[in-house]
Structure 1
């Protein structure tokens, strides 16, 4: 099955570069390009891509606003957004993750990393494994909030799984450590997401940091 991608960036050369890199993968197809947030919203509604690569700094309607509108549109339930940035710790990325984006990529990402990221996100994953991504999420999620009552409804196993996800472990890694099948690990994850009101694993990690289910990793 082909993964359909929309690339949103105000620089034509950047869009063209990403298109070339992605189209080299026979399992990925770039279905549209957008030069600003308004175009990104309109073209996402028209083409319904699986993944949107969204630049955050664009003239007019920026990528953050576009991300909020796309992910808040009930007509686009399957669309997943990866934000693009030039800087590792960009304040816009914080807000994009809060809005529901599943992760972010630096614009100097390698071709293989770019294609891998698109495949992971299209399959329902989140870009949480790289240390810089965990550091980014931890940076804004460390704004402490009192945990809601829903946290107390998590079982001990669900808490354990959530903590491991926040540490960047994959379902296979978690299954291996806890001596369970990947399907069982995924079941615990889905139950925790339902109880905490997280729409995906990225938001689950944010909530885990914010509500004390995971420790903020140290940065150097």
Structure 2
């Protein structure tokens, strides 16, 4: 049976330098399908494939993709450990989007804590997967904030009170808006400040929380009680 790539969506991002992508999945059929749907988008360029987590770091070092679309469960080395190794070995690692079968999987939470930037379901529509990769590449908003919130809040609460986060008032406001999934321009509009000011606030939040990306910062915000489910929408 032949596979025809889907047509580009009218809502696709405008043409620019394509985002380069490495696909990591142990199932060849899945890799082929993902390559087909991503390559149909002019703003995405699949530059390689890995069949196991052990192949990811050598391929990333050689190909320098912008984003790794990483299966969370692989034999040999899973996507969690592969993500950790990327973060530990490279000064400027690629973004990582975990692709998974089950949204509530503890492995997804562990991958986000290891430094993955977001996740998407394998059964998601082609447009959603492609846009997830593109969104993570831009790096200025949170991928699927409601799903991240559900993952974090499903975890047991830590015992006892936690120390307050070492953030200024504006940085706290910025983090709360990040938890809603707002992009940097949207945060700038909400706070009536410049885009450069928001970028500075976001950078300070990540540095003070020891977070590698927005997703990790938002996880810390939920785990610390700064952002409370039900009060963040």
Q: TM exceeds 0.5?
A: yes
Q: Is 2:200 the counterpart of 1:187?
A: yes
Q: Closer, same or farther in 2 for the Cα pair 1:211/1:145, shift >3 Å?
A: farther
In 1, the alpha carbon distance for the partners of 2:58 and 2:160 equals 36
Alignment correspondent of 1:168: 181
From 201, 209, 220, give the equivalent of 1:207: 220
Unaligned 5+ residue runs, structure 1? Answer: none
From 110, 115, 135, give the equivalent of 2:150: 135
Q: Closer, same or farther in 2 for the Cα pair 1:89/1:11, shift >3 Å?
A: same
Q: Helix, strand or coil for the counterpart of 2:228?
A: coil
Q: Closer, same or farther in 2 for the Cα pair 1:171/1:31, shift >3 Å?
A: same
How many residue pairs get matched? Answer: 215
Q: Map Cα deviations across residues 82-141 of structure 1 (whole Å, 9 max, x no partner).
A: 111100100111110110000111001212111211111111245434422321233348
In 2, the alpha carbon distance for the partners of 1:54 and 1:129 equals 17
> Does the CA-based 8 Å contact 1:8-1:34 persist in structure 2?
yes
TM-score scaled to structure 1, two decimals?
0.88
Superposition RMSD in Å: 2.1
Q: Map Cα deviations across residues 28-52 of structure 1 (whole Å, 9 max, x no partner).
A: 1111111111122221222121100
Shift of 1:144: 6.0
> Does the CA-based 8 Å contact 1:172-1:182 persist in structure 2?
yes
In 2, the alpha carbon distance for the partners of 1:212 and 1:103 equals 21
From 121, 127, 134, give the equivalent of 1:112: 127
Q: Is 2:23 the counterpart of 1:7?
A: yes
In 2, the alpha carbon distance for the partners of 1:72 and 1:7 equals 20
TM-score scaled to structure 2, two decimals?
0.84
Q: Helix, strand or coil for the counterpart of 2:197?
A: helix
In 2, the alpha carbon distance for the partners of 1:59 and 1:115 equals 25
> Does the CA-based 8 Å contact 1:51-1:80 persist in structure 2?
yes
In 1, the alpha carbon distance for the partners of 2:200 and 2:157 equals 27
Unaligned 5+ residue runs, structure 2? Answer: 1-16
